[in-house]
């Protein structure tokens, strides 16, 4: 054991997160990880640069062209046009924005709510810990998507309300994950040592317990990003998420569902966008789990 620069006792058992350079080098050796990272990078860049990438920026934001209704894919409109003459490719590109915002907002809110509650519940055995976990179990007793649908319907259809509804149904998973990691570390030698020399409980939870819980939380958050995009698409498809004229992938699939056999491109391309991005986030999450696992040799 040794004493750190801030007077906090450190020990070999405290596993520091791998350095960023090491993680990137290990990811490059994983072909599926490279694919997932590439998809996620393209997804983020598409969302940020949508006005520059969209061939018809105004139509991506909702402007219509009735004279160009339901045109099949061509050199002029690579993904065709929808029922209102809007370029599908432009709207797919713009649809990356609400998808990215929803994924970051839902996962971020779920982590901010669930992780602190899980840390406290796992570190403090007794009535407080049991009370927090019984509340968590109460939320877990409802199917997440069904609970989100009920909350979104009560709040009213909008992208913000849909994201909030999903976050409310998602945080219990992070609470249970953080509690599990905290329970395994509560009696660890380096935590006992910090407690003996008088380190305050909040510092122990943040500097020692949370630091060791970052890896599983990060992996779970990455994988959940894809699941959130699928769930947000489902809510938008049901009319509980983003509202017209917003370019949203789930809303676009809903718009094209009645003519999928004739104007197949209207629903197919946004559906493929959801599939590809969700796949990329899952591949990246699996690769990060292998790279960040302290027991792996990478």
- The whole-chain average pLDDT of the chain stands at 86
Q: Is 113 exposed, middle or buried (0-12, 13-18, 19+ CB in 10 A)?
A: middle
Flag the least confident range among 28-32, 281-285, 294-298. 294-298
Angle value at C-alpha 293, between 291 and 295, nearest 5 degrees: 115
- Confidence bin at 28 (pLDDT 50/70/90): confident
The CA-to-CA distance between both ends of the chain, in Å, stands at: 25
pLDDT tens figures, 198-221: 778 788 888 878 888 888 898 899
Decide if pLDDT at 48 tops 90: yes
User: So what's the pLDDT on residue 21?
Assistant: 63
User: So what's the pLDDT on residue 6?
Assistant: 39
**Is the N-terminal amide bond of 245 cis, ω within 30° of 0?**
yes
Per the CB < 8 A criterion, the answer to whether 133 and 187 are in contact is no
Decide if pLDDT at 1 tops 70: no
Calpha distance 48→39 (Å, rounded): 14
pTM: 0.84
User: So what's the pLDDT on residue 153?
Assistant: 93
Decide if pLDDT at 14 tops 60: no
Decide if pLDDT at 20 tops 90: no
- Confidence bin at 277 (pLDDT 50/70/90): very high
* Domain segments of the chain as ranges: 19-292
Average pLDDT over residues 2-30: 54
* Rg of the chain, C-alpha, whole Å: 23
Residue 2 pairs with which residues in a beta bridge? 10
Per the CB < 8 A criterion, the answer to whether 161 and 152 are in contact is yes
Calpha distance 40→153 (Å, rounded): 31
Token readout for 181 is 């990691």
Average pLDDT over residues 166-179: 92
Decide if pLDDT at 91 tops 90: yes
Domain 19-292 matching CATH 1.10.3720.10: the answer reads yes
User: So what's the pLDDT on residue 294?
Assistant: 52
- Confidence bin at 50 (pLDDT 50/70/90): very high
User: So what's the pLDDT on residue 19?
Assistant: 58
Calpha distance 268→263 (Å, rounded): 9
User: So what's the pLDDT on residue 5?
Assistant: 36
Residue position matching structure tokens 């934001």: 61
Tell me the backbone φ, ψ of residue 81, rounded to 5 degrees.
-125, 160
Decide if pLDDT at 26 tops 90: no
């Amino acid at each position: 054991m040794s004493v750190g620069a801030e007077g906090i006792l450190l020990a070999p058992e405290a596993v520091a997160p791998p350095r960023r350079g090491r993680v990137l080098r290990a990811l490059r050796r994983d072909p599926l990880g490279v694919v997932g990272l590439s998809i996620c990078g393209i997804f983020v860049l598409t969302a940020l640069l949508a006005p520059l990438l969209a061939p018809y920026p105004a139509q991506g934001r909702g402007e219509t062209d009735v004279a160009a209704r339901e045109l099949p894919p061509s050199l002029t409109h690579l993904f065709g046009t929808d029922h209102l003459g809007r370029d599908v490719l432009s709207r797919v590109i713009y649809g990356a924005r609400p998808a990215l915002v929803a994924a970051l907002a839902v996962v971020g809110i779920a982590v901010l709510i669930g992780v602190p509650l899980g840390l406290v519940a796992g570190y403090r055995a007794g009535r407080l810990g049991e009370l927090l976990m019984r509340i968590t179990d109460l939320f877990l007793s409802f199917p997440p998507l069904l609970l989100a649908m009920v909350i979104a319907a009560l709040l009213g259809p909008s992208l913000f309300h849909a994201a909030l509804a999903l976050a409310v149904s998602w945080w219990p998973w992070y609470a249970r994950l953080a509690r599990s990691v905290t329970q395994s570390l509560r009696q660890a030698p380096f935590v006992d040592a910090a407690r003996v020399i008088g380190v305050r409980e909040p510092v122990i939870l943040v500097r020692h317990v949370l630091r060791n819980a970052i890896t599983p939380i990060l992996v779970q958050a990455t994988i959940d990003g894809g699941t959130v995009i699928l769930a947000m698409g489902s809510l938008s498809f049901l009319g509980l998420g983003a509202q017209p004229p917003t370019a949203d992938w789930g809303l676009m699939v809903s718009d094209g569902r009645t003519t999928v056999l004739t104007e197949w491109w209207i629903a197919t391309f946004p559906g493929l966008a959801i599939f590809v991005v969700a796949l990329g986030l899952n591949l990246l999450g699996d690769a990060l789990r292998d790279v960040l696992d302290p027991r792996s040799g990478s």
